[in-house]
Chain A
Amino acid sequence: MSPIPFEHGLIVAGILFCLGIVGVLTRRNIVFVLMSLEVMLNACGLAFIVGAARWGNADGQVMFLMILTLAAAEVAVGLGLIIQIYRRFHTVDINVLSQMKG
């Protein structure tokens, strides 16, 4: 079994992060934007795990747990906001929401 090169793990994380950025920038449905944010956070976690595997210590995994907690809290608040937005504006189009005042 040949060892996996360090840069290949980082490249996978980088590709996933860039796909998440494209999703955030192109989609107009706010639920898709939140899903793309999840992809980006997950790519960050993957980079931390790859770092932990490179140097063989557990600090990277602790950092991944923190990212997991952050993602859970972010999704809870974001979905609450989406429900409230849908109740008020009856749409999930972020272009309509950009015309909010105040």
Chain B
Amino acid sequence: MTILFYLASAIAIISTLCVILQTNIVHALIYLILSLLAVAVIFYVLGAPFAAVLEAIVYAGAIMVLFLFVIMMLNMGQHTRDQEKSWLSARGWIAPGVMAGLLLVQLLSVFAQIDQDLSGQRIDVMAVSGLLFGPYVLAVELASILLLAGLVSAYHLAKK
């Protein structure tokens, strides 16, 4: 299981790197799906099978299909590749790379002081749903209102 964690982490990081470096948008989307599925494997290894299943169904399934529909609607296939290449200059990478690198160094220096192990204990659906329909029931209701608002506004925005 430990090896699976590091393997899935490596796949997630490498495919995310491919997402931000890719010029072909459909390939970038496929790499993003790969990254999300690798994160789902990490969730399973960490003892969260319910979150892993939701990650695969909702993120890698539903949200990525939405992206695919929009890419198809905007007809951003092969011919936008040259445009993307011209937009990606080496000079534009320096400042964001340095800033994100500094942030990463800070995060790593904070995390390096932690010396604890994960419990590896499985948290199944029963415990999560007990919380969802117990103390967090108001948050679930608010989430449903958020989704309804998202639905209405997306319909209104995309209308001709």
Contact = CB atoms under 8 A, between A and B. Distances in A.
A93 B117 CA distance: 45
A85 to B, nearest CB: 10
Contacts of A2: 2
Given A21-B103, A72-B147, A49 B59 contact: no
A73 interface: yes
Interface of A: 1-12, 14-23, 25-29, 31-32, 34-36, 38-39, 42, 45-46, 49-50, 52-59, 61-62, 64-66, 68-77, 79-84, 86-87, 92-93
Given A4-B2, A46-B39, 10 more contacts: A4-B118, A9-B5, A26-B88, A29-B80, A32-B25, A61-B51, A61-B128, A65-B54, A73-B150, A80-B157
30 contacts: A1-B2, A4-B118, A5-B115, A8-B5, A8-B9, A9-B5, A9-B46, A14-B104, A18-B101, A19-B17, A19-B20, A22-B96, A26-B92, A29-B84, A31-B70, A36-B20, A49-B48, A53-B48, A54-B118, A56-B123, A58-B128, A61-B48, A66-B139, A66-B143, A72-B150, A75-B63, A75-B67, A80-B153, A80-B158, A82-B70
